[in-house]
Structure 1
Amino acid sequence: MSKIPDLSWYAGVSQKKNLFARCPFATVESCPRYYQSLSLSAQTGATEIPAKEDERLLKKWKKATSGRGQTNTPHRFILPTQDFQCLQISVQK
């Protein structure tokens, strides 16, 4: 059976590898997955990214990830479902 990649799993792997327990790229400017997960989390009641900032970031990451299986649905240009959201976002909820 596969392990569920939750915070305990992530921290354990990090500890075994003598690494930090948080992703150094977990910012909307550094990681498209982090941005997309944060943007989508507003649909579940989390604080929204301001509209202008969200639009700017969406354009940035669409441009940077063009050709990687884009769809026509906004904010779904990288990951097909929220099942693949950034772990950093999922542990902040």
Structure 2
Amino acid sequence: MSFVPIVCGKKDWDKQYDQSTQYSSLYCPNCHNFNVHPVKRREFISIWFIPVFPIFIGKQLVCPTCNWRQDFKNDEQLQKVVREQQNIRQGKTGG
């Protein structure tokens, strides 16, 4: 009788969403830095380092400093975040 270990894990890929400067250096509500940017994210369960089952495929805002993440669905939601960020920088409050 032989034993063959199966190595399982999770593999993540982040790809830059857009090269536009309006999406760079957004505000992070967790660490309060201005370096959040949008990415296309893919997460897979892997067996022997080979991605097999997708767990998540979507778009996220990510902070490289504190690893804060927030999902967004389309460009319309991303534009709304950019408008809110401009209000934050100008010192305006919602209401």
If the TM-score is normalised by the length of the shorter chain, which range does it land in? Answer: under 0.3
TM-score by length of 1: 0.26
Task: Choose between structure 1 and 2 for higher RCO, CA contacts under 8 A separated by at least 6 residues.
Answer: 1
Whose strand proportion is higher, 1 or 2?
2
**Greater per-residue helix proportion:** 1
